[in-house]
Structures are given as structure tokens and as C-alpha cells.
A and B are shown apart, each in its own frame.
Chain A
């Protein structure tokens, strides 16, 4: 595991980009990959500036609010809205959302 100071990423190869596309489920055409790796490399270099900053002992900030999670009472408040919600669905049959068959 690299620490922040040991880390010097400079650029993303087209292979790196393909791996990211697979993780993010994004189809990218072969003509797009080159431009994408170049632009992503620029971005990675930009954010690489963060490495120079010493952050020893600093607590990462996940929220700007210093608050605790509010708890909701365990009560059923929703009724069946499926007819309204499924009006937006691309493919529905017998009230089920359909996707190409998955084999487990």
C-alpha cells in the first residue's frame, strides 16, 4: 500500500482506461480511448498536486456538517406506487422489471 508521499502517478494507459470502463460499465469506442486516456491523465496530474500537502494527523472530512444521523421511527409510510413508478420503466412484464436473462 503506497503512502501519499510515495505515490507518483503520471498517466493512464489505454489499458487502464479500459479497466475503469469495465468497472463503471461504460462502453467506449476504440477512437475515444486515446483522447480519454490523455484527458484523464491530465486530471490525474492535476489532482496529484494533493500529494505534496502534508496531512499527518488530519481527520478526513466526509461531511461539512458536524452532526449525527437522525433516526426515523419504524413506521410504514409508503403505499403501493408501482403503477406510477413503472410508467417510466423501459421494460416491464407482470410488474417485474426485465433485463436480459442472467445465469448464475
Chain B
């Protein structure tokens, strides 16, 4: 433990997120996932002689959106540069990226640390570049097979300042960025499909040192869990190494999830000289202030702002607000339901969304946008609870009926006669009947066993097929049992 306290871990994350454009950043080929190999690689993507790049407008707009959402400066003039190296999945022998003049710089985003404290993480820059293709090493005995469908897909590379101090912070930052790009609609953030990738630069130093230690770059981190585990295990490795008197080498390491360890990468560009220079096939990207302002005006409400508003506007707890704003779709659903409801308090609707609605989605394997129970129906249902037409248990039945497509809330209630019984006289009749049938328990209650009330409530609900208003039943039982 003392070892951990005397060492500080310093982490910077480089996140590559694929932008959700229809076509590639420099060509008109499709970016759709899962197509047959090389069916979406056109002349430009293949680096054919004579082919030339032309820049996708949407990629630029998406990068600007990200920059505005993270308080970055948008470069009025940015330049594409060639990063030169040889690898089979890089058709031109260079990647078109941005070097000295990226499109977006100097921003920040807030995260919650493990201690629940708010911490600001700096974003050094975000720049546009093209993705490489894919190498398949397992298909052939003596060969690697190259699929260039992915070559040319737009990427936004987001570089954080080395402000992160633990694996947990790194995980929190990564999740925040993940949520943000999905909220902005600029990426689907699908880590399984490779549209959200993370590299971590990890170094350690003695607590109190101001100089950064030598860092290792960790690659192949394709889940939130792996990022945190890889960072932890790498930090451990470096600390052990240094405590044994060794030195950390600056290198690229891969994370092996099966063995939970990192190992040096064998190929790719180790001591490579990328010879960056401005790409002469592309002109500087000039962005007018008016364009930036119109994009700013079109930005959706961002997660943090939405969270705060939900807490204030709907009197929700932080936890509830967190869950409901965890995706733009869920938040939209919730607010639509609130809008449709005439009486149901937002808290009630929030409980239903977090409970039954989400459970149903998970069971059915659906996204919120595909929910079988729409927000209008949910609003109507919770209204019926609020005005006491339905008891809790029967409301569940109605929900299931809605889910099965059995009609509207009103129709279902009418069809099945689920209307709550609130007529005092009727309830009294039921209560008296139940008390009469169970004299022993009635005596127990009079003798002071308060718990037996539950037994009577159950019996009354049974007798009324669950329709008697529970509060009235309770009140009448108490008065009739004691009276």
C-alpha cells in the first residue's frame, strides 16, 4: 500500500472515434459496416494512381460540433498533413491527418472521480483523419488478407491532456466522451464494431515530482473494462520495474485480456519518422465565424446541462437524472411521456421508465426508440395511477397489455374492467365480508397484532380482483376492525 501512495500514475488518452457520415472523408464510397471485403473501397480509398481526395463537409461539421461541446477553439484555418509510413492496410503509404494546425484545440470536459469529486480534464486537441483498412491474419496460412472497406472512414482523434491520475478517472473520461459523441449524433460509439477506439499513454512518477516519467502507449483497448484493467496492470508493471532499479522504455504495448498483461508490440512503426508535411492535394480548410455560430445554435442540449435541468425541472434525484439522461433517446422518451401526462408527477413517470420500460426493452432486445410502449401511452398509464383509476399491480397488467399491442390505456381498462373500486360503500361491503370470514385474525388484530392487517388487505384485494383502492381499504379495515 505504501508503494502505491508514493507513486503517481499519469495518464493521457487518445480516442479515435469514427464519425457517422454516410460516405468516406475523402471519397464517395459508403462507410456502412459489415459489407463484403473490398466492396466499399473505391479508387481514392485504394490509393490508385491519379486518384485525389475531396473533403466531406459532414466530417468537418461533426468535428466542429465536438469542439463547441467541449469548449474548444475552432481553428479558422486548419491544414491536412500527410503522415508517411508503410503498412499494408494503409494504401497510399501515408495517412491523411492533421498535424500542426488541427481543426479544434484547447478545450475541456468534466468528470466525476472515484471520490465523487468534479474534476476538469483538458482536451489538447481533436483532429480529422482517415482510418486505415483491416488486416486479417488468421484466414490464410502464409498470408495476411487486407480489406480496405474501412480505409478512408473519417476519424476524429481526441487527445486529452495528461490530467488523468487513475484507471478509474480514465474510465470516467472515456465514458464521458463516449456519451458526448453519441449525444451529438456524430458517432455511434460502437466499440465492438471498432467505431470507438482508445489508446492510453501511461507513465508513473514519484509523488511530488513535476517531471513526467517515460510513458508506454497501450493499444488494442476495445472496452471500458479493458482500458481500466490495462492501465492498472501497466502502472503496476512500471512501478515494479522502477522499484527494482530498471528503466521504463518508451514503446507501444498491447493489452492481452486473457492474461491480463501488456506486452510490447512486435511490428508497426517503432522508431518511425513520419515526415509530416502539408498535403498538397488538399487546400486549407477555412471556417467562417458565421458557420461556427450556426453550428453552435444547432447543438442539442448536452448531457450535463440536461442532467441539471432534469433535477431542477422535474424534482428528480441525481441518480434518476443520471439514468434518464444516459442516452439522448431515453431522455427524449421521458420528456415526451411527461408532456403527454396530465396529472402524473414526473417522479412517477421516472420510476416507470427506469423500471418497467427499461426492463421490457432489455427482455425484448430493443432500443428505446423501438419501445413497444410509447411515451404517450406511458403518460396515459401513469395518469391513471395518479388519479387512482388503477392500483399499482393492475397498472403492471395494463403495461403488459400495451406491450402486447392490445390497444390504448382506456380501451384496456374498459375491456378488462380494471377500473379501481373507489366507491366507499362497495369497499365497505367487501371489507365487512372479509372480516366476517376471518374472526380469528380479527381478534388477533384487536389483541394488538398490527401485522395481521396485511393479511386482511390481501384478502380484500383478492375479493375485489385487485381493484379496491388500497388506501380506502386500509382505512376502512382499521376503523371496522377496531370499531
Separation of A99 and B87 alpha carbons in the complex (Å): 10
**Does A69 contact B145, Cβ atoms closer than 8 Å?**
no
CB pair B38 A82 closer than 8 Å: yes
Across the interface, A74 reaches (CB within 8 A) one of B23, B283, B284, namely B23
Of B227-235, B264-272, B372-380, the one contacting chain A is B264-272
Majority-rule SS of A interface residues: loop
* Residues of A in contact with B, size category: 35 or more
Q: Which of A21-64 contact B (CB under 8 A)?
A: 23, 25, 62-63
| Majority secondary structure of chain B interface residues (helix, strand, loop or mixed) | loop
In contact, B23 and A77 (Cβ under 8 angstroms): yes
Query: Are A94 and B266 in contact, with the CB atoms below 8 A?
Result: no
B22 within 8 A of A: yes
Please name the residue on chain A nearest to B77 by beta carbon. Answer: A68
Residues of B within 8 Å of A73, CB to CB, are 57
Q: Is the CB of B38 within 8 A of A68?
A: no
A100, B21: Cα distance in complex, Å: 33
Residue among B86, B137, B141, B278 making CB contact with A103, cutoff 8 Å: B137
B85 nearest in chain A by CB position: A23
Contact A74 B58 (CB under 8 A): yes
How many residue pairs link A and B with beta carbons under 8 A? The number is: 127
A65 to chain B, nearest CB (A): 7
Residue among B30, B48, B139, B283 making CB contact with A94, cutoff 8 Å: B139
Q: Do A101 and B140 touch across chains, with their CB atoms under 8 A apart?
A: yes
Asked if A15 lies at the interface with its beta carbon under 8 angstroms from chain B, I say: no
User: What residues of chain B lie closer than 8 Å to A76, measured between beta carbons?
Assistant: 22-23, 28-30
B residues in contact with A99, CB < 8 Å = 88, 143-144, 146
Category for how many chain B residues contact A: 35 or more
Nearest CB in chain B to that of A60: its residue: B278
Given the known interface contacts A71-B60, A102-B88, the answer about A95 and B37 at a Cβ–Cβ threshold of 8 Å is yes
* Smallest CB gap from A62: residue in B: B278
User: For window 75-108 of chain B, which residues contact chain A by CB distance below 8 Å?
Assistant: 79, 86, 88
**What separation, in Å, do the CA atoms of A67 and B58 have in the docked complex?**
20
Return chain A residues, CB-CB under 8 Å to B54: 70, 72
Contact A96 B57 (CB under 8 A): no
Question: Which of B79, B145, B273 lies at the interface centre, i.e. has the most chain A CB atoms within 10 A of its CB?
Answer: B145
With A76-B23, A99-B88 in contact, do A70 and B55 touch (Cβ < 8 Å)? yes
Provide the bound-state CA to CA distance between A96 and B88, in Å.
11
List residues 113-146 of chain B with CB under 8 A from any CB of chain A. 135-137, 139-146
A104 to B135, CA, bound (A): 10
Contacts of A6 in B (CB 8 A): none
Chain A residues whose C-beta falls within 8 Å of the C-beta of B140 in the assembled complex: 93, 98, 101
Contacting residues, chain B, for A81 (C-beta < 8 A): 42-43
- Which residue of the partner chain A has the closest CB to B19? A74
A23 surroundings in chain B (CB, below 8 A): 273, 275
Residue contact A71 to B55, C-beta cutoff 8 Å:
yes
Tell me whether B42 and A78 are in contact (CB under 8 A). yes
**A28 and B313 alpha carbons, distance in the complex (Å):** 73
Instruction: Give the docked Cα–Cα distance between A48 and B294 (Å).
Output: 49
B286 contacts chain A at the CB level, 8 A cutoff: yes
Q: CA–CA, A29 to B59, complex, Å? A: 45
- The answer to whether A74 and B56 touch across the interface, beta carbons within 8 angstroms, is yes
Given contacts A69-B285, A72-B56, A74-B23, contact A97 B38 (CB under 8 A): yes
Contacts of B58 in A (CB 8 A): 74
Contact at B88–A69, with CB atoms within 8 Å?
no
Interface residues of B (CB under 8 A from A): 21-23, 27-30, 36-43, 46, 48, 54-60, 79, 86, 88, 135-137, 139-148, 254, 265-268, 273, 275, 278, 280, 282-286
| Given pairs A68-B283, A72-B28, A102-B267, 11 additional interface contacts (CB within 8 A) | A62-B278, A71-B55, A72-B54, A74-B23, A76-B22, A81-B42, A85-B46, A95-B38, A97-B145, A100-B142, A102-B144
